Amino acid sequence: KLRRVTLGPAALCCHYISREKQVRQLLNRSTRASLIHSQGFENLISTGFRLHQLLTSGQIAFREFLKSEYSEENILFWLACEEYKKIKTAPEMISSANRIYSEFVDSEAPRQINIDCGTRENITKNISQPTLTSFDTAQKLIYSLMARDCYPRFLKSDIYQGLLRRNDSR
């Protein structure tokens, strides 16, 4: 059984302790691994194995890849937004929205995400009265960026190729 450990301020991201088991679960079928390797991202969406599935069940390998490319803020922001959407109380929403804003959206953010200035300005304008959808546009932009840019490179990466080799040797 995997144990969930919260890292960073207010559960911005989760890390699973049993890495090897997580990776095995992600690529436990060589047909899935072959499918990921041989088809483009658009085809993967139509077959049901998409970036969203990778982000929710196999994020460790993808996160390692993003870290190696100095773009880990993308997945951290996406995960923070997913946690934010689960918030039930207004005080918690305000606190969490401000953390996400200062960590990822603010022009001086330590892990500033790459979004257009209109989206950034809209979030900034509304941050004093956040809603559950406050970060939706930015989250969609970051998801699209990962889908069209990071994910295809991940499929060609040494990290992914190592997973394929390990899976093929089983």
Domain check: are 133 and 160 in the same one? no
Bridge pairing between strands 13-16 and 4-7: antiparallel
pLDDT digits (tens, 9 = 90+) for 88-116: 999 999 999 999 999 999 999 999 999 99
| Per-residue confidence (pLDDT) for residue 20, from 0 to 100 | 38
Long-range contacts of 114-118 (CB under 8 A, 24+ apart): 114/74, 114/142, 114/145, 115/141, 115/142, 116/141
Domain check: are 61 and 91 in the same one? no
DSSP state of 116: -
Domain check: are 64 and 10 in the same one? yes
Residue 61 is part of which domain span? Answer: 4-70+151-168
* pTM of the predicted protein model: 0.67
Compute the average pLDDT of residues 20-26.
43
